[in-house]
Amino acid sequence: MGQDAGTEHRLDVDLCVIGGGSGGLSVAAGAVQMGARVVLVEGHKMGGDCLNYGCVPSKALIAAGKHAHAFETGGPFGVGVADPNVDFGAAKDHVDRVIAGIEPHDSVERFERLGVTVIQDYGSFVSKSELRAGNAIIKARRFVIATGSSPFVPPIPGLEDVPYFTNETIFDLRDRPEHLIIIGGGPIGMELAQAHRRLGCGVTVIEGDKALGKDDPELAAIVLENIRAEGVEVIEGAQAEKISGTDGAITVQTGDGKQFKGSHLLMAVGRKPNVDRLNLETAGVEPAKGGVKVDDSLKTTNKRIYAIGDVAGGLQFTHVANYHAGVIIRSALFGLPSQAKTDHIPWATYTDPELAQVGLTEAQARKEHGDKLEVVRFDYGENDRARAELKTRGLVKVMVVKGRPVGASIAGAQAGELIQIWALAIANKLKMGAVAAMVSPYPTLGEVNKRVAGAYFTPRLFDNIWVKRFVRFVQRF
């Protein structure tokens, strides 16, 4: 096991990673295998939020919900409709098994086998080049702050006296909620809302602004329409101003005086960076609203200390933390210039249908590029595989400037998979012709990407008088 209680001891290493979530683990594994002496400090669970409370358990619960939903939606395929017999506790067993299957990859034992010294305690800086963790004083040439984020719980009057869940506790709930109230209509709130509804819970989502408000509103509307059709009550533009009740009987009152009653309450309004324990001032690290102030190379105001992932501010996704890990390994281990960018970073919300984005939305692209922007669209209803599977409610939009995609938005089946071709194109500065030249197997949903690229060229080929004149000229010979 990792280092623990005992006589105070000192360690002198090349790299100290603070935080054993996805980003921190990626840095530690990469650095030690390249010959660096590495200490990893983690005071809570290895694998961080993603494995234990976020990406992994939520997707496992979503999968359980999809299987339940299939019982109710087979009629158009000639399959008898039936009420699903949902064992909510067994669905949580599935979640636990998925986590347990991944845990060994993120475990203390694996990282110690790789050669990492793991200290299972929280870290706090005692100087600009030293960190205390438990009984160890770690002097490192470079540090990486990868402490992630935690659920933000706003100070709503009455909340302190009412039992509530966050994403860190909701997966421990084994008895099915009769009616779950979710405050927050972002990706976490909407994913868990639909999953719980499909597993037999009544669900109300209360959002102070627009649900899924960071995504393209036209595409978010497609997703929300389907979620509402499944029976989730989504209330937008309603601030929760007072909460009261007891376990099993909770009331949320909004600013307009309306009251919403439920049996359980989930707070899903956002995240806060985990920096309180670090003693940043002693380290010469300037804090920021999103956590820690960093430059383009992810260095803090102490140039020997980096910050990655959620605590560095910006996009809060596991794959961003992993991307950041690669950026700083290049800089910290090889001394090479390396900068973190965001224009090629995709994200997805795993509702049904899914919602995905990379680069600029249409509104952002219009603001940045004005008349130079072209927006090309393709509807799922024109895709044969979508028709076969009755997944025709969906849309692809690609924002193009001078022949190159600068953003893509997708709402529809497997949007999280389909967005990847546009992430590749934007990351490598490919033109639309590269996607149009791709040959997709038929029939696949992936054809929608080729078809939207083709839609970009259609007016240039078929509505161009000079093309038609040239073709007629060639046909004379």
Could you please report the per-residue DSSP string of 410-440? EEETTHHHHHHHHHHHHHTT--HHHHHT---
Q: Rounded to the nearest 5°, which phi and psi values hold at 52?
A: -95, -30
Question: 154 preceded by cis ω (within 30°)?
Answer: no
**Long-range Cβ contact pairs of 390-393 (< 8 A, separation 24 or more):** 390/76, 390/77, 391/353, 391/445, 393/222, 393/225, 393/226, 393/353
Predicted local distance difference test score (pLDDT) of residue 466: 61
Tell me how far the alpha carbon of residue 18 is from its chain's centroid.
Answer: 21
Predicted local distance difference test score (pLDDT) of residue 8: 84
Structure tokens at 98: 């998925």
3-state class (DSSP) for residue 246: strand
Predicted local distance difference test score (pLDDT) of residue 256: 93
Q: Rounded to the nearest 5°, which phi and psi values hold at 471?
A: -60, -45
190 is in an annotated binding site: yes
Are 174 and 39 in contact by the 8 Å Cβ rule? The answer is: no
245 is in an annotated binding site: no
368 is in an annotated binding site: no
Are 360 and 426 in contact by the 8 Å Cβ rule? The answer is: no
Predicted local distance difference test score (pLDDT) of residue 464: 62
Q: What angle do CA 117, 333, 131 make, to 5 degrees?
A: 45
Query: Considering the entire predicted model, what is its pTM?
Result: 0.93
147 is in an annotated binding site: yes
Predicted local distance difference test score (pLDDT) of residue 127: 97
Structure tokens at 157: 């009057």
331 is in an annotated binding site: no
115 is in an annotated binding site: no
187 is in an annotated binding site: yes
Residue ranges for the chain with pLDDT beneath 70? 1-6, 460-471, 473
270 is in an annotated binding site: yes
370 is in an annotated binding site: no
Structural domains of the chain ordered from first start: 9-46+107-150+272-334 (3.50.50.60), 159-270 (3.50.50.60), 346-462 (3.30.390.30)
409 is in an annotated binding site: no
310 is in an annotated binding site: yes
257 is in an annotated binding site: no
202 is in an annotated binding site: no
394 is in an annotated binding site: no
Predicted local distance difference test score (pLDDT) of residue 7: 75
362 is in an annotated binding site: no
